Chains A and B, each alone.
Chain A
């Protein structure tokens, strides 16, 4: 097609629109995080794109210190919820990845448990609410309610099917002969898994882990039902950020949102270099 000026203009408008739709709300959050209360609360005056008087007040506020006479300092800072989110999401991811990867390897290589893969995905077809009530009862009985480890355990269980399915696809695509070669050259099956398969799967493990971590990190419902006070997570804590005088504390929420965005972004960047290369690049003839 001829790239006329009109066409180019049209193309870039569309691109611009899409970028705007996705990025502007994020920008708005970033900007709001640095605004003083007068600028982010509608009652305080006109809303502006950029903070006129940039400040770290919102960050100080969520960590328990208020510099504004308009809102009283929080009784509980965001430190504990951040820790709760980090611990539960990280260990939940660990549980899902360890169990999911080993299960996927077994089912991929030995073709056992014919219906198990499907059964695992069917777990996810259940409305979470229907499952959560029994879980709440069990967790209460086991003393796991309102603990980060209780949360990590349920996160691991809930995201296990995703870890399993992602890893199974990767294992299914890995050429058998590479493992066969190691078996012939003197390895036991377990050693093959440790020395050949896992190192080769590093990119697959990294991307699956990132995906599972993001799922866990952004959970709201489960944490809402299973934590009450000591170990509430960031999303639950964020929902509670309001004041009787000013209503929703948007500035504080924006600041917390910004902090919450850090771990997935950092993980994504750290993993990126593993993702660009194919798994078996160079192993085979073609």
Chain B
């Protein structure tokens, strides 16, 4: 039960500006996801929340109160570290017991809680082993159990399930989402997998190079990215972004609608391209077809520009075919010179 907010937080490591004027707000009980490429400052944010790193500037509030000078142990926040940080000289069980034992919880109560959380994460059978004898996925679950075993104000998880294979990852993220809702606790979650971020987050923040570029619900960010950067970070395959003169009446991409004055480029998600077989004129040719089962990805080439389009299910279109491309004006995004979203109203 805690809200967490950053007010203009900056952090430098030597000459390296790891966090640049970062502000955001995590609501109580929210599943908040930090998403960004490597080294953009995600772990640094979590460590500042924990109190392991002090910000150079700005303020961190937990439940509306500044936590400057409060020791990590007093903040009552649990963390799954990116490299897991299990205690190598203790068994899995001792690792999971540790947070409760350190807080002087009654031994009987500890045993019950450990058994319960071990059950939940399916690690009961490996509790007696030391971390060195566990697989990567098992270690990750032990680390998650160590965080879940106590009753903190908030949980932080730094890319907690990256060591799992794709299928198990999907299962586990659903499980984590369910656990978070069950516990009714704030969870700040770091990932560099956009699909994972979108599937679990109530709110997500997209980061680049120490800055937060946009915050919002996954759907908001997907539908209204404020910049080409955010537009490209979400969605797979990524949004097509082309110079504006590729779209319009009689252009390779047939488009009828107003474009904002400041716009210089247009962005269209692969699933928003409408594709029809056509005569070879000024449309596009199909360079590659990838049938992926539930959808098919087409790579198109129009005057030297490559576009990706996805179609539901299978298609008869083949490599070498010529197609006409159309876009619903409501599904098009516009960006100005700086890469920021251009406002249609202009």
- Stretch in B23-31, B134-142, B230-238, B318-326 touching the partner: B134-142
Query: Among B79, B131, B133, B150, which residue has its beta carbon within 8 angstroms of that of A181?
Result: B79
Q: Given the complex of chains A and B, what is the CA–CA distance between A282 and B133 in angstroms?
A: 7
Q: By the criterion of a CB under 8 Å from any partner CB, how many residues of chain A are at the interface?
A: 25
Name the one of B83, B130, B146 contacting A284, with C-beta atoms under 8 angstroms: B83
B-side contacts of A175, CB under 8 Å: 83, 85
How far, in whole Å, are A185 and B147 apart by their CA atoms in the complex?
A: 9
Least CB distance from B142 to A in Å reads 10
Contact partner of A177 (CB less than 8 A), chosen from B81, B99, B163, is B81
Enumerate chain B residues within 8 angstroms of A187, measured Cβ to Cβ: 73, 102
Which chain A residues numbered 168 to 195 have a C-beta less than 8 Å away from chain B? 175, 177-178, 180-188, 191
A282/B132 in contact, CB under 8 A: yes
The answer to whether B72 and A285 touch across the interface, beta carbons within 8 angstroms, is no
Chain A 204-229: CB-based contact to B (< 8 A → 1; otherwise 0): 00000000000000000000000000
Instruction: Give A83 to B103 CA distance when docked, in angstroms.
Output: 46
The answer for the CA separation of A286 and B27 in the assembled complex, in Å, is 34
A188 to B102, CA, bound (A): 10
Cβ-defined contact, A200 with B52, below 8 A: no
Interface size class of B (residues with CB under 8 A): 35 or more
B50 at interface by CB-CB < 8 Å: yes
Whether B131 and A283, one on each chain, are in contact in the complex, defined by CB atoms closer than 8 angstroms, is: yes
Say yes or no: B88 contacts A177, CB within 8 Å.
no
Instruction: List A contacts of B72 (CB < 8 A).
Output: 180, 183-184
* Contact assessment for A282 and B73 in the assembled complex, using a CB-CB cutoff below 8 Å: no
**In the complex the two chains form, is B132's CB within 8 Å of A186's CB?**
no
Could you say which residues of chain B place their CB within 8 Å of the CB of A186?
Answer: 73, 99, 102-103
Interface pair B139/A282, CB less than 8 Å apart: yes
In the complex, what distance in Å separates the CA atom of A196 from the CA atom of B99? 13
State whether the Cβ of B229 lies closer than 8 Å to any Cβ in chain A: no
Residues of B within 8 A of A128 (CB): none
**A279–B73 CA distance with the chains assembled, in angstroms:** 25
**Given known A185-B102, A187-B73, contact A180–B88 (CB-CB < 8 A):** no
Interface centre among A178, A185, A196, A284 (most CB of B within 10 A): A185
Residues of B within 8 A of A (CB): 47, 50, 52, 71-73, 75, 77-79, 81-89, 98-99, 102-103, 130-134, 136, 139-140, 146, 150, 162-163
